[in-house]
Amino acid sequence: MNPYVEHANVTVNNLDNTVDFLQAAIPEFQIRHQGQAEHYRWCHIGTDNSYLALQEIVERTQIDRIPYRDVGLNHIGLVIEDVDAARKRLLAAGYRENDIVSPHPWRKRIYFWDQDGIEWEFTEYLSNDPAQRNDYTL
């Protein structure tokens, strides 16, 4: 078996907003399960093989870190089938796109922020060849 990332656990301000964001980008993502713990709501959303474990923060709303400068999560990367369709859906839903341009002959990538300021990267691979998909020489 090849190891893979099964899930990431992310704390968000509003669970419903994050689910809406993810389903706008990736309509195939389904809620696998959700519940209520003593002090927070939680949700697992994704596919049969991998998911995002979301938990809703209750008391704090301020983010105390600067992405790419402070220790912590900078963005979450997800592979999808059609980056252009996801961009249209996210823009139509009012989400803000990062202006990072990363031209590459074997992959297309877009970056969007959700309502909590979490950056999400969506990648569409244009080749099945791992050498091309993972080419960093460009």
Element (H, E) at 54: strand 51-56
The predicted pLDDT at position 63 comes to 67
pLDDT tens for residues 71-126? 678 889 999 999 999 999 999 999 999 988 888 999 999 999 999 889 999 999 99
- The ranges assigned to domains in the chain are 7-58+74-133
What's this model's pTM, rounded to 2 decimal places?
0.86
What is the length of the chain?
138
Give, in words, the CATH class of 7-58+74-133. Answer: alpha beta
**Predicted confidence (pLDDT) at residue 60 exceeds the cutoff of 80:** no
Percent of the chain past pLDDT 90, that is, above it, reads: 67
Gap between the Cα atoms of 43 and 54, Å rounded: 5
Residue 65: CB atoms within 10 A of its CB come to 11
Please state, in angstroms and as integers, the Cα–Cα distance from residue 117 to each residue in 40, 83, 133, following that order.
20, 20, 28
Tokens for 33, please give them: 């399960």
